[in-house]
Amino acid sequence: MKVTIRDRAAEAPWGYGYVQPVVVTVEIADDCPVPDCGAKRGEPRHLRQCDDGAWYSVQVWDNPCGHVDMYEAVVREAKTLAQAAYDKKQATRATESEVAL
């Protein structure tokens, strides 16, 4: 599923200038990542938030299984998925060019 979240790790550390929320839309699994769970994640809903005068809009969701998705973990999951998709594409391309030869 696609979710819009805040990536605090991509922001300037606290105390360095104005707060500029970094909001990213990423693709994550539809299912809960907790081992031995794998239940469907909850439906994302929009949430407008204000941090130090800076407004931003993200999505939050409640998993019916009760496991809580932390944004930091979601960012990691999205990066892993994106990397896997990229690797797969590269592998497909390599195979295709071999066929072309």
Tokens 């979710």 locate to 3
Q: Per the structure block, which two tokens stand in for 95? A: 């195979």
User: Least distance in Å: CB of 99 to Zn ion?
Assistant: 42
Tokens 């081992």 locate to 35
DSSP structural state of residue 14: T
8 in helix, strand or coil?
A: helix
Q: Per the structure block, which two tokens stand in for 85? A: 């998709």
Binding to Zn ion in span 19-58, by CB under 5 A: 32, 34, 37, 39
Nearer to Zn ion, 17 or 35 (CB): 35
Nearer to Zn ion, 43 or 87 (CB): 43
Binding to Zn ion in span 65-84, by CB under 5 A: 65, 67
Rule CB under 5 A: which residues touch Zn ion? 32, 34, 37, 39, 65, 67
